[in-house]
Each structure stands twice: as C-alpha cells, then as structure tokens.
A and B are shown apart, each in its own frame.
Chain A
Amino acid sequence: MDSQIKQLHQQLVNKEISCTTLVQERLDLLKKNTYNSVNSLLEDTALALATKVDAKIANGEEIGLLEGIPFGIKDVYMVQGTYTTASSDLLKNYKSAYTATAIQKLLDAGAIPLVKENCDSFGHGSSSENTIFGAVKNAINPELVAGGSSGGSAVNVAKDYTVFSIGGDTGGSIRQPAGYNKIYGLKPTYGRISRYGIMAYASSTDCVGPLAKTIEDIRIVLNVMSGKDGKDQTTHTSSQINEEAIKTNNVKTVGYFKNFIDNDAIDPKIKADFLAAIEKIKATGIEVRELDFFKSDTLVSTYYTLAMAETASNLSRLDGTNYGNRIEGENLKDTYSITRSENFSEESKRRIVGGNQVLSQGFSDEIYLKGLALRDQISQNFEKDFEEVDLIISPVTPNSPPKIGDSLKDPLAMYLSDAYTVGFSLGQLPTLTVPQGTETGLQITAAKNQEQTILKFANFLKETI
C-alpha cells in the first residue's frame, strides 16, 4: 500500500538518502514557506536526532519504521523545552515543562519532530486565522483559508514539509483542514489516544489524531499513539490495526444523513458531487440507506454550548500567575482581568464569556443542561444508526473554503460551517476525512472503536470514486 513513511524508511535503510539530509531539506522548506504554517522550528534537536539515526544506520543497526521520519506538531502539544504558544499572546513565551503522551510515543518510536505548527488560538476557530502568527494560507489556493483549527498541520502535510502531522480535533479541527487541503485526517474514537499534554479546549470531545497523505501512514501513526494511559483516565485499550486487515473491503451497508444534503445551506456542487459519489458506491453492490438526523443548527448549537462551557472552565487557569504574559494591575484581581483582556483574542473571549453565561445560575438549566440532554439524544441516535449500517458517509463541509478575512467578519457563518463535523464529535465517534468525493472531501464515520472498518472502506473508496 502507498506509504510515504515506508518509502522513506526504505530509502534510509538502503542509504539512498541520509536522515540528516532528509531532515535538513524539510527544515529548509519549512523555513522559506510563505503559508504561515510554522510557529517555531525545532531545528537543533531535529538535526541532533537525525545524526543519531545516521550513526545507527552506518553501524549496521536495524532502525524502526518511524525512526528518522520527520513530522509536525500542532502548537497545542507539550513537548518538553519547546515553546508551546497555542498561537496566543498569553503563552507566546511559554515553554513546555513536560511532553504529551501521544508525542512521547512517537519520539520513543524514533520519529523526529521538526515544527510546532500554526493553528487557531487554543483551537478556537475553523479557519486558522485566529492566531498571532498570521492567517495560515490554503495549500491549494493561498487566497483561501487553510481551515482550522489544525490549519498549519494540514498545510505542512499537503506541501510535503512534514511526512505527517499531529493535529487536535474538538469539533472538526483535523477533519475540516484535511478536507480543505485535500489530505487524510483522522479523529479517532474519544479515549483511544491519550489527551495528556494537549492544551485542553473542550475535554469531553478533545481528540488527538494524525494528518497524512496516505491511509497507510494514518494507520501506522494511529497504532503508535493509541493506548491506555494512566495520565488520562478516559483512555481505553485498543487493538492494533494490521495492514492486511484493511486491504479487503467487507462493508455491506453505508448510510448518509438525508437532511445534510436536502437543505439550502449546502453548496450545489458539493451536493451534486456527494450524490454522484453515493451512486458510484451503490454501483459496487453496497447498499446505501438514507438516515434521519438532527437539524444542523441544533448540532452546531449543542456543540458550541458545551464546548464554550468547557473552554471557559479549562482556560480559567490562564491568569498570568504561574506562567503566561502577566500584565500587572493594581491588585491580584485586576492583574487577572487585565492579563486576560489583553492577551486573549476576540474569538477566545467570545467563547469564554459564552461558556460562563451558560454555566451561570439561571442559564444552566435552560441552556447547558438542556445541551447535555440533547447530546445524549444525538449519541443515542448514532447507536441506533449503527444497528442498521456499517458506516456513515457525509461531506466534510457544506461549502468550499472561504477567502482569508471572511470568517473573522462573520463568526456565525464560521460556526455553521462546522455543521457536518460537530455531531460526530458529540458522539465521540471515529471519523476520517478522505480527499475524494467533494471539493472538501468526504467523512467516513463508524461506531466507537471501529477505526479498522473506516480505514478498510477508505482504501476501497480510493479505487471506487
């Protein structure tokens, strides 16, 4: 199966390329790139690690599959000693004291981190414009947004600056930029990969996941990062996915949400392309069923209500006391509020204030608790669907990527653009974006812990549509 990781591994083993050359070439590309995809480069450590890999190869020692493979990390992950800014003023000089579990597993496997990647500040955005490092430009058309919040990660993969990147997905932040930049991006089942060391946005939907150019690379990286972790007690044990297991498709029934397609909000071209993809799937003998689902505005509102409540709570720790860009006021409370007012972006402030609104007395019953009840219903709906179908396919977004600048002017439009991704986040389901079917790709979703079925079907789709 196509795999950049395997191809590079073979080149390293055959001494067709040195690891130092490979890493230096990618660093050079990242340095001179004009897409604003980089927050900081990890040049010295990357080259030091590459030298060690070269020494091992020169000594005739065996190297692991990921050893020497350059990758990128969204700038919300702790990597000890590196700046971890969350693309924010508040943390622009913050250094990680420890390393996230998922990243540590990749380091232990020998992969080499090159870059902390630009993203929406604290994951607050769907365009990677809400950042102090400049809006990330789309890899295919630089006048358009890269998508978000893992926009820098998607662009680095799409432009071959990194072999794979690690993004974070709370409501679509891996899947949507993957779709906008025509690559693969996986949001695994909630709890499959440890969240320890990712800066928390909305803890009940935050997921760690890979972005890459091939299904096989997604599989390899997913296997390395997965597993139970005592430092994140919502994690669970999962099985490794073998290459052989995803080669042959045995999916018999897929479903799609009729109301996602039959409405005025979807771009006519995306609708037509999606329905054409459905016809091609039907032509292979797979049964396709139409499913009922919640209205888009209910999904978006439920997600944002809960995500804002959780982010208001999670970000309350950022007050400039122990770390961060403290701005002194007359006293402690004044210092807190000036620090937070000056250092959070408008979008982050909007979400924090919204979260505190719904959590406050008088509002929590009619908004927050009702949101939780709706989430239960949405999740129950998925359970019922997966008794009928093996997979659900859907477009990634209702529209094509907007121009840079447009999303900031119209936050409601930005929230609504997440209509097709947030439901699966609320359901904590595994979902993969594939760069096929529509201009912004397709999502393949399965029941919890069925990533293997998704990857199998993605392989099948590669040949089918």
Chain B
Amino acid sequence: MSKIMTVDILSSIKGAQPSETVNKLFEVIKNAQPNNNNSSNNVNYNCVSVNDLREDVVIESPILEKQIIKENFPKEKNGYLVVSKVIED
C-alpha cells in the first residue's frame, strides 16, 4: 500500500511547506515544451566506462582519519557512536 508522504516528512524538516517562489520556477518547467520529453543524456555523458573502473580494493584509513571521525560523533561511548532510540512504525 502506498502512503502519501508530505514534503515535511520527505525532507525530515518539521513544518516544511512548499515555497511559492520555488513553485513559480516549477510552473515555467510545466509550461515548457521540450522537443523530446525523455532525457537521453547523450550530451553530458559523464559515466565511466566499465573497462576503466577503479580497482575494488579495501583501503585502510589512516589513524588520524579514524580519530577525527570519532571526534565528530555527536555522542560517543567507548569509541562507539550512540544513536537515538529507534522506533518501528
């Protein structure tokens, strides 16, 4: 069953409402008449070739990097990240 989700839920921002200013920009797109309604993305083609993918290797992070990542934890206990209570809907 699909459930209608409002933008405040989608954005995880309390009380968020669509903006009138932004809606004006969207109106221009709605009224535009592109000659092809499906993007083929053949102009700005930025994908890497499968023959040119980087090696799939595990790189150990340096100690300093790990230390800073821990420093950035909003809550930390014995070197572990502490998160808020998770609830099931």
Contacts and interface: CB of A to CB of B under 8 A. Distances in A.
A415 interface: yes
B84 A98 contact: no
Interface in A334-357: 334-338, 340-341, 344, 349-354, 356-357
B34 A356 contact: no
Residue of A190, A323, A376 with highest tally of chain B CB at under 10 A: A376
Contact of A356 (B10, B21, B43, B46): B10
Interface in B30-88: 30, 32, 34-44, 46, 48, 53-54, 64-66, 68-69, 71-75, 81, 83-87
A95 interface: yes
Which label, helix, strand, loop or mixed, suits the secondary structure of the A interface? helix
A353 B30 contact: no
A149 interface: no
A375 B69 CA distance: 38
B25 interface: yes
A304 B22 contact: yes
A315 B34 CA distance: 29
A405 interface: no
Nearest to B72: A323
A190 B47 CA distance: 12
Nearest to B44: A428
B1 interface: no
A61 interface: no
A366 interface: yes
Contacts of A204: 44, 46
A308 interface: yes
Contact of B74 (A304, A323, A329): A323
A332 B86 contact: yes
A326 B35 contact: no
Contact of A357 (B18, B32, B37, B66): B18
A97 B69 contact: yes
Given A301-B29, A331-B87, 14 more contacts: A305-B25, A305-B26, A322-B74, A322-B81, A326-B74, A341-B16, A344-B13, A350-B19, A352-B16, A353-B8, A353-B13, A360-B10, A370-B29, A379-B43
6 contacts: A204-B46, A302-B29, A320-B74, A321-B81, A337-B8, A353-B18
Interface of A: 80-81, 94-98, 190-191, 204, 230, 233-234, 297-298, 300-302, 304-305, 308, 312, 316, 319-326, 328-338, 340-341, 344, 349-354, 356-358, 360-361, 363, 366-367, 369-377, 379-380, 383, 411-412, 415, 427-428
Interface of B: 2, 5, 7-8, 10-19, 21-22, 24-26, 28-30, 32, 34-44, 46, 48, 53-54, 64-66, 68-69, 71-75, 81, 83-87
